[in-house]
Structure formats: structure tokens, C-alpha cells
Chain A
Amino acid sequence: MRPLVSVLFFACAASAVAATTRPATAPARSPFARAIAYAQERSVKIHGAGIALEHGYAAGTIVSADGLILTADGLIINTSNLRVTLPDGRIVGAKVVRRSEPLQSALLKVDVSTPSFFEMPDKSPVTKGDWVLAINNSFKVADGAEPLSVNMGIVSLVADVDAKRKVQDVPYDGDAILIDAITSNPGAPGGAVVTADGTLAGIVGRIMESKATNTRLNYAVPIERLRPFVLGQEMIVGPGTPKGKPFVGIRLFTLGGRKTPAYIDRIAPGSPAADAGLLKDDLVLAINGKAVRDCEDYQELEAALAPGAPATFTIKRKSQITQVKLSIREETAHATPTTAP
């Protein structure tokens, strides 16, 4: 976005001149009008499965000319009758291409051409304090060809949301753009979050409610994380996919919430850890040379391991410090089934 700054300032100067000559009674046109129109042309309504608090509707963001649509993952897409209402009001069936657990997002495809679509920048177009517009269909207010709702806010923070703390019901993991527009409403997830000039910054994330405070997080899944997912370059969960979750076979001895040292509590039989001779009560000190101060560090480093590649674990057993080589495998037991395209 940096190259645009000078252009924007030029626009500022022009608008200031116009502001002085404008009659006081003329209504000020929204500076976001163009960005909104641009984004609404590229956003869709999605209708699928729903039960109880899982609402059967969401929003979606068109990211290619051949009908690829990003939306939030969830129960809604677990149906053979997934329908997408295009911006012109046409209703077409959609198929799930793939879904991502850490992004809590899904990629859909419709069999019609979608000439209006968002370009996906490979770098985040937003930073703390920037205006953002969230296109959404909260509470299913818009129907048919009616334009989707727009909520406005600023980026509060780009922060790491950790899936492992058991305070949230959605296992979103990694960086998220926190915004101060209220988007944690049914029907909002999957909607485009755009900058003031219409650049796609991300999609509204799945509703995430803290069990501790009953509050909800308003956040967007950043586009630079979604882009590889759309292009098929990201780690994909599911059978037959080239890269899955790494499987080590270690369960740590943890005390909920505390920062506890990474002592091994249990080794899964036949796992890479068991093959390498690791034992209960061993303390993991480092993985591939990176220090493991506590269980949290361990989880992060373990998640970053590449299946199929060897990894070096530094462990302390009694008073001995040794290095052990493990050949990491791919986790298959908890893989989510996906509908292949």
C-alpha cells in the first residue's frame, strides 16, 4: 500500500479545496463509497446447513474469475445443498474445494464465471489504525440481489490468536487482524474486509467467543495467510494431501494455564518418539536447536515441524543431556475429511 500514499495525499489536497467551495447544505458523500461499491460487487451470500446456534448462512468473497469463493469454515458447508447468491441475485450451487483448520476458512467453487473478483495481495495492506470496511450479511438482513451490509472500523491490532488455549471454541491459530467494527454476528463470517480503497485485507473470521468473559472477538483472517491457501500452496488437512500435521507422539505433562517445563508424560507406541527411544519423564530442552522453555514453546515448535523430515530433539534424562534424531511422520488419526474438487 505504501506506493499509494502519495496518490492519497494528492486526493486529500483536492478534497480540501472542494470542501471550502461546497455549499454547507450538500450532503457529504462517503469517502468510502467507491470502495464499498467495489467490494459489494465481489461479495456473495452463502446458504448451507444450520442447526441451533450454527446459523445456516454466511458471506463469501470472490477471489478468482472462475468462481473461487473464500468463506469461513463451519457446519454451514457440510451439506450437499450449498448455495451461493451472487451479487446480481442469481443463486447457484457451490462445491467445497478445500478447508483449512488453522485459518478456519474454506474455499468454495461455483460453476459460473465471476468476472468481478478481488485481487489477493501477498503482503498485508493494513496496519494498526487503518480504516477497514467489513462487508457482511449479519442476521441475514440482505436477501437476493440486495447489497450486503457494511460495517466500518479501524484495525486495532494484528495479533497472534492461539488455538491451544482452551478458552475458545474455534481452533483458529495464528495471526489475526483485530478490528473495532462489530463483525462477530451470525452471517458475517466469510465477508470481505477491505481497506478504504477497496483492497482485500482479509475475510471476517468465524465467530469466536471467550468462554471466560462471554465476549466475542471481532477479527479478520489476513489475506497474506489466505492467499497460499487459495493457491493451494498451504498445508492442507485431509487424506491424500501432500503435507499434513506433523506427528511426533509425545504428550507433555501440563498444568492448565501455567508455564510448565516440557516433561514428557506419555509416548504413543509405535510413534516417531517411541522409535527414537524417548521415555516418560524426559525433559525436552530444544527442538532443532531452538530452546523449549515450556510446554507452550514445545507446541509451537512441534507444529512447525515438517512431516517426512528428520528433527533433532535435545532432551535431559536424569542429569544427562542428549540429542535424539526423530523422523517426523504425518498425522492421520484426526484428519478432517474434505470433499475433493
Chain B
Amino acid sequence: MKRPKAGAWVPAGGCALVATLLAAGAIADSITDDELSRVREAEAARIRAVEKVYGSVVAIYPKSRRGGGSGVVIDEEGFLLTNNHVMQPVGEEGLGGLSDGKLYKLTLVGLDPGGDIAVSRLHGKPKFDCSALGDSDTVSVGDWCLAMGNPFVLAEDQKPTVTLGVVSGINRYQGGRGNIGVYGNCLQFDTSINPGNSGGPLYNLETRLVGINGRGSFEERGRVNVGLGYAISINQIKRFLPDLRAAKVCMHGTLDATFGDRDGKVICEQVNLDAQIAKLGLELSDRLVSFDGHPIHSANQFASLISTYPAKWPVQIAFEHEGRVRSVWMRLRPLPYEVPQRPQPTPRPAGTRPATGPVRLPPGVLPTTSAVRQTKPGEIRDMKLNQEECERIFARWRGFSAQAKALGASKAIQTNEEIWINGAKAGAQRVLAAADGRFRIEIVQAYPGFDAGSALGFDGAAFWEKPADGPARQVRDAEARRRSEVAQSLCLAALQQDHPLKAFKEVVLEGGDRVLNQIAFRVRLADQAGNRLACWLSLLGPDGTFQTRLLKIAMLDGSTERDPMWTCEDYRPVGPAMVAHTRRLVKGLAEETQLEARAVSCQIVDIPANAFGVPDAPAR
């Protein structure tokens, strides 16, 4: 067996250079000026990276200023990530210190007791420094990682402490108390973290946020760094972020089935008969093949993986039943939080100081005392915060699409669309849509259900329909709104209004979901007539940065196969506005395409006279 040759290393960034030089053990005797300058350059790059995010690290205190933890701002509006176990003693309102030395008011938004995460918000500045989210799936063992925070609550000037180390392990599992404070697929690192670091950020060398530090192996020698820290991976947190920002108490998902290892296979050992997965065909001793695209090779791996998914999350599961592999889609069921029978106090080694220091908690688990207003798990803690978040999401969406501003009252978007079914062109139509909801659809080439020459429209007050061979007729309101094209069109227009919440009878940010393989907010709507709708807006773009795009609109709530849903994809600029150039009619959790409408041309035009009124009727 040969050792790996040093010369065969894949060259990496500046830090690799430092390490290589030092590893050679020859720094003192034979380093050249050139090499030294490169080492200094790498060091300077690291310092710059730290400076970039230094202002986003928060020292969190309860109002009493006794104890505290850390956090990190991820949004200019002051939303920050921290641990549930930091916010529990802080409660609904606390203080957040930033590196400018000032303390800001901090309020609690959402909690995830299962994953030990909380979202809070800082107030008092129009714009806060924030850290960019990274991708924790790209982290590998041996990578450098930086931790920042407020260990031992020692920063009198609120400036965070920075520590550097390496990632010691990935996909680790650290059990909690019952289902509370479970660290599944977490990152293990040897960067020093100590009590008070809880809730603080773990960065890679580019200071992209890869995790939230929450616990260490503080088992033997009191609550100090022992070279083993654990961070909740940012990719897990991303899935919970919509729920957290919706001011919910998050719940984690379960299959209502347990699995064990047998002969190198992962076998179903228990399954609730009324579980969704049982209805989909899973039986005892069936083999679990994959979960959400991850091949499953051990029961532990699966337990660790599923603990990082929120309740109601849509997943594809493959299992082998009597020799045949079946692939099914389902939403995970909520895993109830068991109440621990007897909370055990953490053993405190002799000689350590009691409670005046940092918040004193069992490592990473729910504290016995909580200052947080109690809410049932899975429910929205504060409807006002929820509505505010809806406003913000819609405002960001309006800012991106800019249609209302581009069109005003006198212009409309005219789109020529091709209709594709099963990969073949089936028809064509022309759509004219104004910002206020008026629209007209003319069928240019027939496709199933629509004859060439027929048309459908809404003049702002009434719906009409014109068959290819007959005169136009008015359509009853309720009947029209049941058609998915109509519902979609009206929903799109309503979201463009300055106050979309007023355009609907009910708007509720229900939480997170996955749509078009993107993490999204799910918003439940009811229009003035009481018709139920749902729409999905993205939280993150495909590149992992915050990005609000309207992704999908559904009749009812899209939960059954019967509920038609229209996707909005392929956004392209049309004048100053952004317009989706591909719309797909999809069904079910798998989002199977029924029909696809592709824009071949799209432009902003002046609204012609009587464009939306009933054809044949005299212009009003």
C-alpha cells in the first residue's frame, strides 16, 4: 500500500497553501519570500472573509441579561437563526448585540424544538448585515470551518469570537430527549465551541453559512470544548425556514413506520395500519430502497435522514415488496413531540460555577424552564407575524415581476402560446392579460377540450365564453372560477395588487413545501366568493440564494390528484416586467405534466378597444 503522494494533491485555495507549507515542516529554514507572501495573502483572504460576515453575528440575551447565546442574521430585515434552546429561556422578547456594540430589540418568530432551531428578528435598523447561506452537502471531512459567537458571554463590546478548525465528521446523529433536540445528519467539527456559542454560525472558509452550532460532547469534563462540536446543517434548516418564518412551531416528519437492519437490508419492522405509507402498499418485512432520492443502506442512516425533514414534506419513497420495487409519493406525517417523563438535571462536575454564566442547559435539549408562550406543535404562534410575512413575500414577488408597474391601466401582456401534450405540439392559443385581472384567451389551433376559434374572457365584471360556431354567452361567476385557467389568471392579477391581502378573503402562510424541486412557501388563499386556492412562492433560487418567484397556483389546496395546478416557470424579461414563459398543468405530488403551454412570443401592448368585452357586443 502506497501513501498518497503529496505532489498528487488537488491544488486548492490559499489555505491549502498554508497547510502544505506548514506540513512540510520546513517553514523556518527554506521558505522563500514569494511563498511567504502567498501565505500572507491567504491569511489576508481569510481575514477579509471574516470581516464580511462579522456584522451579522448576534449575541443573544434575555431581557434580564443573565446568560445568553448566539445567532446569525440571514436577511437584511433582521431575521436571524439561532437555537431553540437559546430562545426558550429568552422568551418572546430579548436583546441582540451586534459588532457595532449596540443592543437591538429581538423578538421570537418561529421555533423548531425537534431540530433545535429558532428564527427571531432584530428591530431598530432599516437594513442589517447578513450572512449568505451555503450548501452543507458540499462540506467534507477535513474542510476548514469557522465558528463565531459569544462563548461564555464574554463579549462586553458585543463583538463575536472567531474560532477555526476542521470538519471532523459529516452525517452524524446525536439523539435528543425524545423527539426534541435531535441532531440528524449534522456536522461534527473540532473548532472550539463553548457554552454561549449555541445558535451561532458555522462557516466554510468563504464564510458561507453551513450550519448552526448547537451542542458539543460535554459529557466528562464539564461544559467546555472537548474538540467535538455539532452543527445543525443549513440544508436541513432551509427546509424548515418557511415554517419558521410563518411563525409556526415546527414539527418533523415521519413515515409512521420503523425499519431495522437485516442481512444488509433495511427492513420494515413496524408500520401503523392506518399510515399513508401502508395505504400505498408498504408491508412488514418490505425493504426500503430509497428515500427522497437517497439510497438507504442502514436503518441508522434512514433514522438520521428522516429526522431532518419537516412534517407534510412531499417525498418519493421506493420500497421492495415481494421482489418488485415500487416508487410512491407521499407527504410525511407529523411526528408528535413526546413529553419526557422525568427531566434529568445535567450532572455538573465539581468546581464549576452555577447559573450566573451562559444559559445553563442540557446539551442541545429543551430546557425545563421556558419563557416562550406555549403553542400547540404544528400551529401558527402569531397570526400577525404570519400576515406580515405574507405581505413581505408578496411585496418581494411584486418587486421581481414588476407587472403592475409596467402595465398600468392602459397596457396588457399579449402572449402567443403553443400547447404541448405528451411531448407533441397539440394546439395554440393567444392570451391577452391586463394587470387588473381582465383577460381574453383565443384558441388558435384546437387541442383536446378546446375548439379552434373559441374564446374565453373576463371584462372586469363578468365572464364570457364564445364557442367556435356560435355566439358568445355570459358565464356564471362561480362556474368560471372553477376553471383552472380562470382561477390562475385571477390569482396572478390579485398578487400584483398593492395590497393583495385585501384582494382575498383569507390569506394564510401555511409554511414550507417543495415545488418544482425548490423550497417554497405555501400560501392558502380564499377569494371574496369563498373559492379556495393555494399558491407557492420560492424561498430560495436554484443557486441557494433567497429568491421569491411564484412557482405554482392550485385550485382548492392541490392536495388531491383532482386539484389542477398550474406551474410558472422560465421567467424572462418582457419590457420592464418578468413573465413566466412556460406554464404546466400538473397533477399530484410528483407534479406530472398534463399539458404544457410554451410562450413563443410575449410582448406588452396597448389594450385595444373592447379587448376584454364580450365579442359581437357593442363596445362599452
Which residues of B are found within 8 Å of A24, using beta-carbon distances? 206
Q: A28-B15, A29-B16 are in contact. Are A5 and B227 (CB under 8 A)?
A: no
- B-contact bits for A31-61, CB 8 A (1 contact / 0 none): 1111110101000000000000100000000
Which residues of B are found within 8 Å of A36, using beta-carbon distances? 141-142
Best-surrounded residue of A26, A115, A152 (most CB of chain B within 10 A): A152
The verdict on A151 contacting chain B, using a C-beta distance below 8 Å, is yes
Instruction: Identify which of B1, B20, B166, B188 contacts A11 (C-beta below 8 A).
Output: B20
Q: Within the assembled complex, what's the spacing in Å between the Cα atoms of A34 and B140?
A: 11
The verdict on B371 contacting chain A, using a C-beta distance below 8 Å, is no
- B-contact bits for A1-43, CB 8 A (1 contact / 0 none): 1001101111110111111001011111111111110101000
Q: In the complex, which residues 499-554 of chain B have their Cβ closer than 8 Å to any Cβ of chain A?
A: none
Q: In the complex, which residues 112-138 of chain A have their Cβ closer than 8 Å to any Cβ of chain B?
A: 115-117, 119, 126-127, 129-131, 133, 138
Are A28 and B13 in touch, CB under 8 angstroms? yes
The verdict on A196 contacting chain B, using a C-beta distance below 8 Å, is yes
Which residues of B are found within 8 Å of A197, using beta-carbon distances? 3-6, 23
The verdict on B74 contacting chain A, using a C-beta distance below 8 Å, is no
Are A138 and B228 in touch, CB under 8 angstroms? yes
Are B166 and A152 in touch, CB under 8 angstroms? yes
Q: In the complex, which residues 185-219 of chain A have their Cβ closer than 8 Å to any Cβ of chain B?
A: 185-186, 195-199, 214, 216
Smallest distance from the beta carbon of A63 to chain B beta carbons, Å?
11
Q: In the complex, which residues 1-38 of chain B have their Cβ closer than 8 Å to any Cβ of chain A?
A: 1, 3-17, 19-27, 30, 35, 38
Instruction: Identify which of B3, B6, B38 contacts A8 (C-beta below 8 A).
Output: B6
The verdict on B570 contacting chain A, using a C-beta distance below 8 Å, is no
Q: Within the assembled complex, what's the spacing in Å between the Cα atoms of A35 and B22?
A: 15
The verdict on B219 contacting chain A, using a C-beta distance below 8 Å, is yes
Best-surrounded residue of B140, B206, B228 (most CB of chain A within 10 A): B228
Instruction: Identify which of B7, B22, B188, B226 contacts A131 (C-beta below 8 A).
Output: B22
**Chain A, Cβ-Cβ closest to B298:** A144
Which residues of A are found within 8 Å of B220, using beta-carbon distances? 53, 185-186
Q: Within the assembled complex, what's the spacing in Å between the Cα atoms of A24 and B46?
A: 12
Q: Within the assembled complex, what's the spacing in Å between the Cα atoms of A30 and B16?
A: 7
Are A196 and B228 in touch, CB under 8 angstroms? no
Are A139 and B228 in touch, CB under 8 angstroms? yes
Are A15 and B20 in touch, CB under 8 angstroms? yes
Q: A144-B300, A149-B168 are in contact. Are A29 and B12 (CB under 8 A)?
A: yes
Instruction: Identify which of A12, A181, A182 contacts B35 (C-beta below 8 A).
Output: A12
Smallest distance from the beta carbon of B486 to chain A beta carbons, Å?
44
Are A27 and B226 in touch, CB under 8 angstroms? no
The verdict on B225 contacting chain A, using a C-beta distance below 8 Å, is yes
The verdict on B374 contacting chain A, using a C-beta distance below 8 Å, is no
The verdict on A157 contacting chain B, using a C-beta distance below 8 Å, is no
The verdict on B171 contacting chain A, using a C-beta distance below 8 Å, is yes
Q: A1-B25, A7-B7, A151-B227 are in contact. Are A27 and B190 (CB under 8 A)?
A: no
Are B7 and A115 in touch, CB under 8 angstroms? no
The verdict on B138 contacting chain A, using a C-beta distance below 8 Å, is yes
**Chain B, Cβ-Cβ closest to A141:** B172
Are B3 and A38 in touch, CB under 8 angstroms? yes
Q: Within the assembled complex, what's the spacing in Å between the Cα atoms of A32 and B165?
A: 12
Q: Within the assembled complex, what's the spacing in Å between the Cα atoms of A119 and B3?
A: 8
**Chain B, Cβ-Cβ closest to A29:** B12
Smallest distance from the beta carbon of A8 to chain B beta carbons, Å?
4
Are B4 and A116 in touch, CB under 8 angstroms? no
Which residues of B are found within 8 Å of A8, using beta-carbon distances? 6-7, 20-21, 23-24, 26
The verdict on B99 contacting chain A, using a C-beta distance below 8 Å, is no
Are B23 and A182 in touch, CB under 8 angstroms? no
The verdict on B217 contacting chain A, using a C-beta distance below 8 Å, is yes
Instruction: Identify which of B1, B6, B11, B171 contacts A19 (C-beta below 8 A).
Output: B11
Which residues of A are found within 8 Å of B4, using beta-carbon distances? 34-35, 38, 197-198
The verdict on A146 contacting chain B, using a C-beta distance below 8 Å, is yes
Which residues of A are found within 8 Å of B206, using beta-carbon distances? 24-25, 27-28
Q: Within the assembled complex, what's the spacing in Å between the Cα atoms of A10 and B24?
A: 11
Are B1 and A117 in touch, CB under 8 angstroms? yes
Q: A5-B26, A29-B12, A138-B217 are in contact. Are A196 and B169 (CB under 8 A)?
A: no
24 contacts between A and B (CB under 8 A): A4-B6, A11-B6, A12-B20, A15-B11, A19-B17, A19-B38, A22-B13, A28-B15, A29-B16, A30-B12, A30-B141, A36-B141, A36-B142, A119-B3, A129-B27, A139-B228, A141-B228, A144-B300, A152-B165, A152-B166, A152-B190, A186-B220, A196-B20, A216-B221
A5-B24, A11-B11 are known; give 5 further A-B pairs, CB within 8 A: A11-B6, A29-B10, A142-B169, A144-B298, A185-B227
